[in-house]
Chains A and B, each alone.
Chain A
């Protein structure tokens, strides 16, 4: 579904992503983990075509990242999601629906369902300027889920959500994963990742330290958090 081949991204003298290669298979739930500045968001932005690799190639379903066709079946939630303040949640979702090829009654129905799904019923007609961070995040997640995406790219999806919201997101993602949607999850919440994802890559300073299935990464009597800290601290100390 997603293929990264020797992808490098440099900003001037700084290397944000350093020769990264991996594949995400169709139906896989893949987590991209790493401390701040590891290059996770840069990779996500390159997958969406917001940023161009300095070297290497990224393709989604065989189409080069950046081409509009590659985003046809992608649902995306940005790290600090923003909604134009003059739009209501419903209007925002209706706009997304129109670009998903939904129109008229089918768009209204799909948006109505999504509003229910992300728990925004009753607040959907308020202007985004009156939304809390959690509400913005819920609407953003709703936008990503619209139109039945084959690939969900979620950058810190539970950021700003309370524990109940986090649980809701987890339930939604598990449902989509079980329906065969490919998910790329970029998160700091390792306990959530451990529960949702099949595979993970741990990154630090632009490089992938480890990529494997979660069951192989986490040994007995260990959590993903233990492995993450051990791996990132050891590599940081060596450098």
Chain B
């Protein structure tokens, strides 16, 4: 176990050694700071002026989704070359010539990237949280908890990219991960939109849901569930247990197949 934690620590250290990591963080924080202007404008809907808190709340919810969505891109980029890079630069031999199990190496790398991505996303969400607090004096309850919940999605994205990178070229593994996640957003997003109060006012009747859509990874639903912690709305799209079971099973199954494949590989 200690080796796994050690490898995770080295993973974080190595990623943070790269200038591109800080460039990415700086660009992301700058983007968020630019959003500050949204909190100062005068907005009106149907002639009624909206109060600052309400604007801040809506803008923050939108930015929450943008950040959580954007993080998929970053995690895929971080994870896509981890095994091949280690193989090329001698890191793999460095770890595995010592009493380190292959599973410890794989899970250590994944844990490191996950912790780093989660911290990265948390910093961005925390920045928004602070901006809202400074500008309106109000705190968006559940915002930071929702950020941590979304890290489950990041773990799925990392495991999926690492798994795919064992069978596909690095860049393709990142692209495929993004496509798989995008399908979840389109499929479940569309389902939820069709069942929203607004659409139900105009459309009646129940359509049948294709079986694959029921069993497809519920990435969008996890993010949506997390956002209900901010909006304080009831999560009605599906049972909570099913949601965690779905994501838990997919992540565990992918990790298990990956470990099995890696344990048989020639180093």
Whether A99 contacts B3 by the Cβ 8 Å rule is yes
Whether B98 contacts A78 by the Cβ 8 Å rule is no
Whether B99 contacts A71 by the Cβ 8 Å rule is yes
Complex interface: chain B residues within 8 A of A184 (CB): none
A92 to B94 Cα, complex, angstroms? 9
Complex interface: chain B residues within 8 A of A51 (CB): 266-267
Shortest CB distance A137–B (Å): 12
Whether A50 contacts B264 by the Cβ 8 Å rule is no
Within 8 A of B (CB), among A42-100: 45, 48-52, 68-69, 71-72, 74, 76, 78, 81-86, 92, 95-96, 98-100
A96 to B175 Cα, complex, angstroms? 35
Whether B97 contacts A74 by the Cβ 8 Å rule is yes
A76 to B6 Cα, complex, angstroms? 20
Shortest CB distance A120–B (Å): 17
Chain B contact patch, size range:
20 to 34
Whether A96 contacts B267 by the Cβ 8 Å rule is no
Given A45-B267, A51-B266, A99-B3; A86-B17 close (CB under 8 Å):
yes
Given A98-B6, A99-B3; A82-B97 close (CB under 8 Å):
no
Whether B99 contacts A84 by the Cβ 8 Å rule is no
Closest to A80 in B: B90
- Could you list 27 A-B pairs, sorted by A, with CB under 8 Å? A45-B267, A48-B96, A48-B97, A50-B266, A50-B267, A51-B267, A68-B100, A68-B101, A69-B99, A71-B97, A71-B99, A72-B99, A76-B93, A76-B97, A78-B93, A83-B94, A84-B89, A85-B89, A86-B17, A92-B94, A95-B10, A95-B94, A98-B6, A99-B3, A99-B95, A99-B99, A99-B100
8 closest pairs, A vs B, by CB? A82-B90, A99-B98, A50-B267, A68-B99, A76-B97, A84-B89, A72-B99, A68-B101
Residues of A within 8 A of B (CB): 45, 48-52, 68-69, 71-72, 74, 76, 78, 81-86, 92, 95-96, 98-100, 143
